[in-house]
Every structure is written in structure tokens, then in C-alpha cells.
């Protein structure tokens, strides 16, 4: 295989884990049998244009009060110019790592596709990352080139003195002769795609988890197409008239799939909007007549409260991922919108969602079933399968899986061919998987195992609770006690009366021993840019 790689710079493939540490890969479905050579941008763009799709809209974005539209042919041309810029002006050699930095906008989308075309390896970075995190990523992935939105220049410049490998940088939405915008005008739109292997590296997605040094997860050109042919194909069933919208950054694989690759794979379009708060998201759904929404559970909770002020008839399907979807939020959103949320668990290591459900097969309190193409199991400490109803570690295998870039932690995530996500789950008798907690977030109090999210779910059904988080707090007598951090809705007093009312409410809803013995009111919960609660910060505060 090495003789046939299109990569002249083999850094990424040279730093894959040894083969015996890879998970087992499965391609059981006919649609997952891919050719040996494949460039994912060729599949997502050039093939679509060749099939007669060139004149249809691929991307939409706000343009002052107007709507900007970019067709498949125009996006192909822009990605071609960017590929020419990388190769002819910036000296890119296939296999070089290219840092991409920008909010979700059409240029950022074209940049991803341009790098894929040129056989480069995309390294996306979340807009909010600081110089320290950028430095770690650049050095770990030995990044050589960068394409960056001018408005996010500051932190990248701060990082540069500590990034010796990063030599070639260009900015878009910038003035000046060396800006991407002006240089691209003088470059041809035609670009001969680099003929990558399906198993050549296409991207390195970084994940920091909740703590610890960032890990780079390596994904191939094939993986990008496989993520499109699994979750959306079986749970969303999109068509060419769908308009996707949502909040996750393209640098987060949840967003890369939902807001770029999925729409293109199905001939649909994506509405890319840079900053979306609940109110502006609802406005944008109406403005772009969006039909499919990708966002996180907390956003659905906020949207439910504001729904009635907007005309949202265009919206048909809603996907939630990143964190467990509390059943209270599922119900609240359904009451407000009439839409059954599609919950799905994905991971950066797996590139996208592997357990989910079609909307009509939603089950209260369950994330869903292993989607076609994946196998999932709940394993006990010895690696054996748990009986239905028994809590253990979630394990999955399928067409995608974990390959960390030069990282010892590969041995923790992959065991006996299974990917272990670090989540505690149980499977019911019908093969539905029920989330309990992150494995290291299970609270053990006086000998009882308590899953924080179950207590959160109970608290969220109380009308005074806007948001909450439950962790274990050290306790001399019980080892740990259940502690709830609660954000109240405006108009409720954060006093002892409210505390005991919330405690009684939990005791009435679930087994009383799970109630939070300690309750603290706070103004907001600490979250990552991908919307994940940072429980460790709360634990440190106890």
C-alpha cells in the first residue's frame, strides 16, 4: 500500500498507531465498499457536478440583509482556486498539514474542500482556541501551512513564534495583495485532484476531552465519505431540497459532517451562519427556510422557550449530539415544535454518530440503536458482554474508528478491536442503548452507583430549573455525595426553600437515595466550545 500513497510527505501515516492497535473495521453494507483510490472532495463536489448538479445551490450565507448563494459549480471553482493557491503559491506537497481557522462561512467550507483536493491534511481549529492550544496542535501535527479568517488572526500570530514548522500563512476576508481573496482572482478554477488512496489521511481532528493534552484523531478520505453513508443515510434520509443549518463549528467533526459533508453528499445545501445564539438561530431557520437542524441539547432547551415567536414551518428534522439529551428536553422541544429530536452519540475518534435512531423510532431515555454499519455492545470489566439492563462500558466497531496520532492513549480507547468511548451505558432487551454517565463521572455514594445525568434529568422537569449539573462531592461519611449546581429561571429565589423543594422533587421522581444532598445555585454552567459541560470544573469547585 505504501507504494501507492499519493502523499509525498508521509508524516501523518508514519505516526499512525501500529496496526495491531487499530480497532477492527467493518464494511458490511454494500454502500460501504469503496474503491481503493478516492479523494473525498472529488466525491462530494466533482462527482456531483458531473452528475448534473452544478447549477444547484450548495451553500447559503447571510450577506447583509441579502442571502448569498453559491452553487455546486461555484464551490467547485473556489475550492479549485484554493487548491491552486496552496500548490502553486504556497508550495504545498501532498500530505502536508494545513491548519484551517475561521467561523462557519463559505470561505471556510471552500478551504476544507480545497485542501482535500490538493491532497493536504486538514487540521481544523475551533474559533475560540487560544495561542497556547494552537501551539500544541501545530506542533503535534507538524502543521506547515495555514488558511485563516483575518478576524481570527490575533491568536494565530501570538502562537507563531513557538511554531517552527508553520511557514506559509494566508488570510481570507482580508485586503492587500497577499490576501487569499485577491490572489484567488488570478488563479485558475480548474484543478486536477490529487489521486489519493481511500486510506490516505484527509484530516486530523483534535479533541481535548474534558481534561488533558489534546489528542489528534486521524481520519482517511474513506472515513469522510463513510460518515455520510451511515448516520444521515439511515436516520435523516436527506434529499436535494434539504437545507441544513446549525451551530457546531466545522472544526468539530459533528459540524464538518452536519454542515458541510452531509448536505453535499445528498445534493442538498448548507446555510452557514457565523454566530448563532438561540434567537438568531430561530431567525436564520426562517430566513434560509432550513429543513434540518444540528445542535446540542442545551440549545434545544433554549429554543423551546422562544419557539412561539417565530415562523418555523420549514423545519422538519432536528439532530442533537455532543451530550446526553435529557428526556425532559426532548419532551419540552416536542411540545413547542411538534418535532421529535433525533438523538445521536458520536465521537471525534469515530468521526461521527454511531448510535442513533430514525425520528419515528425514538425511545424515551435512550440514545437509540447501533445504526446500520456499526455494531455496539456494553462490556463488563473483563471485556465480556453485559446482560441486558446491566450497566457497563460502551464499545463500538464499524467502518470508522480510533487512530490517534502518536499517542499512548490509543491502548485505552481501543481494546480487542473495540472502540471504548469512555461512556457508561446499558442496553435494553430491544437493543436500545441508554446513556448513564461518562465512565469516570459515575458517582459512588455510600455504596450506591449514581449517574449524574439521571439526577439532572429529574431536576430539569422542575419548572424553576433552567439548567443544571450534578457531580460527586467528597464526603467523609459517604465517600461522595450527590451535589447539584442549578441555574434558576428568572423569578425564582435562590434560597433554602427552593433548595428543599428541588430535593423533594427529585425524591418524588427517582429513587430517593439519588437526591442531591447538596444544592448550589450558580449563574451559568462551564461549557466547552462544543457545548459540553465541564464537570471537572464543578468537581474542583466542591
The one among 94, 246, 249, 344 contacting ligand 3UK by CB under 6 A? 344
Please report how close the Cβ of residue 263 comes to ligand 3UK at its closest, in angstroms. 15
List 207, 234, 289, 314, residue binding ligand 3UK (CB under 6 A): 207
Q: Residues 299-320, buried b or exposed e (16+ Cβ, 10 A)? A: bbbbbbeebeeeebeebebbbb
Please spell the DSSP secondary structure of 220-234, one letter per residue.
Answer: EHHHHHHHHHTHIII
CA nearest neighbour of 345 among 367, 330, 317, 373: 367
What minimum distance in Å lies between the beta carbon of 205 and ligand 3UK? 7
Q: Is residue 346 near ligand 3UK by the rule CB under 6 A?
A: yes
410 lines the binding site for ligand 3UK (CB under 6 A): no
| Choice between 77 and 250, CB closer to ligand 3UK | 250
Choose between 81 and 352: whose C-beta lies nearer to ligand 3UK.
352
Cβ contacts of residue 382 below 8 Å, gap of 6+?
A: none
Integer Cα distance of 348 and 114 in angstroms: 22
As measured in angstroms, the least distance from the Cβ of 293 to ligand 3UK is 14
Asked if 438 interacts with ligand 3UK (CB under 6 A), we say yes
Q: Which is nearer to ligand 3UK, 84 or 421 (CB)?
A: 421
Q: Could you say which DSSP state residue 260 is in?
A: I
* Edge-first strand listing for the sheet containing 121-125: 168-172, 145-149, 97-101, 121-125, 201-207, 215-220
Does 208 bind ligand 3UK (CB under 6 A)? Our answer is no
Q: Which stretch binds ligand 3UK (CB under 6 A): 70-78, 103-111, 127-135, 416-424?
A: 416-424
d(Cα 146, Cα 98) in Å, to the nearest integer?
5
| Separation between Cα atoms, residue 500 and residue 322, nearest integer Å | 31
Nearer residue to ligand 3UK within complex by CB, 333 or 435: 435
Is residue 324 a contact residue for ligand 3UK (CB under 6 A)?
yes
Separation between Cα atoms, residue 390 and residue 452, nearest integer Å = 17
In angstroms, what is the minimal distance from the CB of 473 to ligand 3UK?
21
Nearest-approach distance from CB 323 to ligand 3UK, in angstroms: 5
On whether the CB atoms of residues 323 and 296 are closer than 8 A, the answer is: yes
Q: Among 87-95, 108-116, 125-133, 323-331, which window interacts with ligand 3UK (CB under 6 A)? A: 323-331
Write out 282-308 in H/E/C secondary structure. Answer: HHHHHHHCCCEEEECHHHHHHHHHHHH
| 236 binds ligand 3UK per the rule CB under 6 A | no
Among 367, 410, 492, 503, binds ligand 3UK (CB under 6 A): 367
Contact 540, 211 (CB under 8 A): no
CA distance 311 to 314: 8
219 binds ligand 3UK (CB under 6 A): no
Check binding of 321 to ligand 3UK (CB under 6 A). yes
Tally of CB atoms within 10 A around 337: 18
270, 250 contact by CB (below 8 A): no
Is 461 a binding residue for ligand 3UK by CB under 6 A? The answer is no
Give the residue from 160, 123, 125 showing the smallest Cα distance to 529.
125
Q: Pick the closer one to ligand 3UK by CB: 115 or 321.
A: 321
Q: Is residue 490 helix, strand or coil?
A: coil
Which residue in 215, 352, 393, 434 binds ligand 3UK (CB under 6 A)?
352
Q: Give the shortest CB-435-to-ligand 3UK separation in angstroms.
A: 4
User: Is there binding between residue 422 and ligand 3UK (CB under 6 A)?
Assistant: yes
Pairing of strands 448-451, 442-445: antiparallel
Q: What is the maximal distance between C-alpha atoms in the chain?
A: 72
CA distance 71 to 60: 9
Binds ligand 3UK by CB under 6 A, chosen from 9, 242, 327, 423: 423
Site string for ligand 3UK, 500-539 (x = CB under 6 A): ------------------------------x---------
Give just the sign of the alpha carbon dihedral 120, 121, 126, 128. Answer: negative
Q: Which stretch binds ligand 3UK (CB under 6 A): 235-243, 310-318, 348-356, 509-517?
A: 348-356
Q: How many CB atoms lie within 10 A of CB 361?
A: 14
Q: Which stretch binds ligand 3UK (CB under 6 A): 75-83, 118-126, 316-324, 506-514?
A: 316-324
Q: How many residues does the chain have?
A: 542
Residues 69-108, interacting with ligand 3UK (CB under 6 A): none
Tell me the residue number closest to ligand 3UK, measured at CB.
Answer: 346
Residue 307 interacts with ligand 3UK (CB under 6 A): yes or no: no
CA 431/CA 536 separation, integer angstroms: 31
Residue 39 or 530: which CB sits closer to ligand 3UK? 530
Closer residue to ligand 3UK, CB minimum distance, 435 or 485: 435
Strand order in the sheet with 465-475: 465-475, 479-488, 518-521
**Residue 348 engages ligand 3UK in binding (rule: CB under 6 A):** yes
Q: Is 9 in the site for ligand 3UK (CB under 6 A)?
A: no
In the complex, the residues that contact ligand 3UK under the rule CB under 6 A are: 207, 253-254, 321-325, 343-348, 352-353, 367, 421-423, 435, 438, 530
Amino acid at each position: 500500500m505504501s507504494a501507492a500513497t499519493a502523499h509525498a510527505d508521509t508524516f501523518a501515516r508514519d505516526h499512525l498507531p501500529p496496526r495491531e492497535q487499530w480497532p477492527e473495521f467493518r464494511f458490511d453494507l454494500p454502500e460501504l465498499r469503496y474503491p481503493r483510490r478516492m479523494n473525498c472532495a472529488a466525491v462530494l463536489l466533482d462527482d456531483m457536478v458531473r452528475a448534473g448538479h452544478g447549477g444547484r445551490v450548495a451553500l447559503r450565507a447571510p450577506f447583509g440583509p441579502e442571502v448569498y448563494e453559491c452553487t455546486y459549480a461555484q464551490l467547485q471553482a473556489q475550492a479549485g482556486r484554493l487548491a491552486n493557491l496552496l500548490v502553486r503559491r504556497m508550495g504545498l506537497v501532498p500530505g502536508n498539514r494545513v491548519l484551517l481557522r475561521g467561523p462557519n462561512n463559505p470561505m471556510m467550507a471552500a478551504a476544507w474542500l480545497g485542501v482535500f483536493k490538493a491532497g493536504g491534511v486538514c487540521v481544523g481549529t475551533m474559533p475560540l482556541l487560544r495561542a497556547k492550544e494552537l501551539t500544541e496542535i501545530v506542533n503535534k501535527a507538524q502543521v506547515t501551512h495555514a488558511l485563516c479568517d483575518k478576524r481570527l488572526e490575533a491568536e494565530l500570530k501570538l502562537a507563531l513564534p513557538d511554531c517552527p514548522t508553520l511557514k506559509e500563512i494566508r488570510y481570507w476576508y482580508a485586503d492587500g495583495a497577499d490576501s487569499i481573496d485577491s490572489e484567488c482572482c488570478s488563479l485558475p478554477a480548474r484543478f486536477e485532484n490529487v489521486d489519493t488512496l481511500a486510506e490516505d489521511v484527509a484530516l486530523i481532528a483534535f479533541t481535548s476531552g474534558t481534561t488533558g493534552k489534546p489528542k489528534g484523531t486521524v481520519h482517511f478520505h474513506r472515513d469522510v465519505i463513510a460518515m455520510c453513508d451511515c448516520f444521515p443515510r439511515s436516520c435523516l434520509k436527506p434529499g436535494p431540497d434539504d437545507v441544513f443549518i446549525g451551530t457546531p463549528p466545522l472544526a468539530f467533526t459533528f459540524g464538518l459532517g452536519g454542515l458541510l459533508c452531509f448536505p453535499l453528499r445528498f445534493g442538498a445545501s448548507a446555510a452557514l451562519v457565523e454566530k448563532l445564539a438561540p434567537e438568531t438561530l430561530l431567525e436564520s431557520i426562517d430566513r434560509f427556510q432550513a429543513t434540518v437542524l444540528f445542535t446540542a441539547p442545551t440549545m434545544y432547551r433554549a429554543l423551546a422557550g422562544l419557539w412561539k415567536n417565530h415562523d418555523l414551518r420549514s423545519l422538519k428534522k432536528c439532530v442533537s449530539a455532543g451530550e446526553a439529551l435529557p428526556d425532559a428536553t426532548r419532551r419540552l422541544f416536542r411540545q413547542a415544535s411538534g418535532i421529535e429530536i433525533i438523538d445521536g452519540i458520536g465521537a471525534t475518534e469515530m468521526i461521527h454518530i454511531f448510535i442513533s435512531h430514525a425520528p419515528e423510532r425514538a425511545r424515551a431515555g435512550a440514545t437509540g440503536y447501533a445504526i446500520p454499519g456499526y455494531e455496539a455492545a456494553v462490556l463488563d470489566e473483563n471485556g465480556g458482554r453485559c446482560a441486558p439492563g446491566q450497566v457497563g462500558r460502551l464499545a463500538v466497531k464499524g467502518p470508522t474508528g480510533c487512530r490517534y496520532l502518536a499517542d499512548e492513549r490509543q491502548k485505552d480507547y481501543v481494546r480487542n478491536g473495540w472502540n471504548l468511548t469512555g461512556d457508561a451505558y446499558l442496553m435494553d432487551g430491544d437493543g436500545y442503548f441508554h446513556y448513564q454517565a461518562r465512565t469516570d463521572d459515575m458517582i459512588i455514594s455510600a455504596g450506591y452507583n449514581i449517574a449524574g445525568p439521571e439526577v439532572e434529568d429529574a431536576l430539569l422537569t422542575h419548572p424553576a430549573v433552567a439548567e443544571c449539573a450534578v457531580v460527586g462531592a467528597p464526603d467523609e461519611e459517604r465517600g461522595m455525595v450527590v451535589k447539584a449546581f442549578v441555574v434558576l429561571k428568572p423569578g425564582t429565589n435562590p434560597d433554602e426553600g427552593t433548595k428543599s423543594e428541588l430535593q423533594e422533587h427529585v425524591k418524588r421522581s427517582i429513587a430517593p437515595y439519588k437526591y442531591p444532598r447538596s444544592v448550589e445555585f450558580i449563574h451559568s454552567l462551564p461549557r466547552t466550545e462544543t457545548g459540553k459541560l465541564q464537570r471537572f470544573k464543578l468537581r474542583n469547585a466542591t
